[in-house]
Amino acid sequence: MIKTTDMILEELQSYANPKTKLSRMVKQGKYFQIARGLYETDKNVPGHLLAGSIYGPSYISFEYALGFYGMIPEAVYTITSATFEKRKKKKYETAFGTFTYRDVPSAAFPLNIRLIQEGSYFYRIAEPEKALCDQLYTMPPAKNIKLLAELLFDDLRIEETELLKLEIEKIFFLSDRYHSTNIKKLITLLKRIKDE
């Protein structure tokens, strides 16, 4: 269970020095620090369940979400999340893993996100179409459709069969919110592949 320092100190208020007691409990392995002011009671909790609490508002996206949906073949160990209007990337190295956060446009941020429950934890993750749009938004613009295809299939290593599972309507809906040539080219590419 995730707890803030304030929550724990409130629980420990009967002790003469709650902060010292908290330090002792951390040493004893009763609490595990995630980030400043944030603790977890279970040292084995998967990192993706903590990503939204470390820095937010945010949702899991980019490479981690693409890996989660099986769109890219490699395992992704850094938990990548999207934020908005933070204006700089953030990185947290914790006992639960490495977490990175980077901006997407404000207009795109709240759209096409799933809320998933695992046990007593909830987390937000981009739908596959949104995760790919977020990823393409952060990459340098491809000069043409052929180079975009290389970016998708060679650099990101997305399987064409996985790409064809995406709902083009969702990407079309999202594309206006990004103002990204990569995403506009993605729509053209998907139409071409589907027409072949």
Share of the chain above pLDDT 70, in %: 99
Region 115-134: what's the mean pLDDT? 96
Q: What DSSP string describes 55-97?
A: SSS-EE-HHHHHHHTTSSSS---SEEEEESS--S-EEEEETTE
> Domains in the chain, please, with CATH?
2-40 (no CATH), 47-195 (3.30.460)
Q: Which residue has the higher pLDDT, 74 or 10?
A: 10
* Predicted pLDDT at 76: 85
Taking the model in full, what pTM does it have?
0.91
Quick: pLDDT tens for 136-189: 999 999 999 999 999 999 999 998 889 989 999 999 999 999 989 999 999 999
* Predicted pLDDT at 75: 80
Mean model confidence pLDDT for the chain: 93
Region 89-98: what's the mean pLDDT? 94
Share of the chain above pLDDT 90, in %: 86
Q: Provide Rg for the chain, Cα atoms.
A: 20
Contact by Cβ (8 Å): 184, 134: no
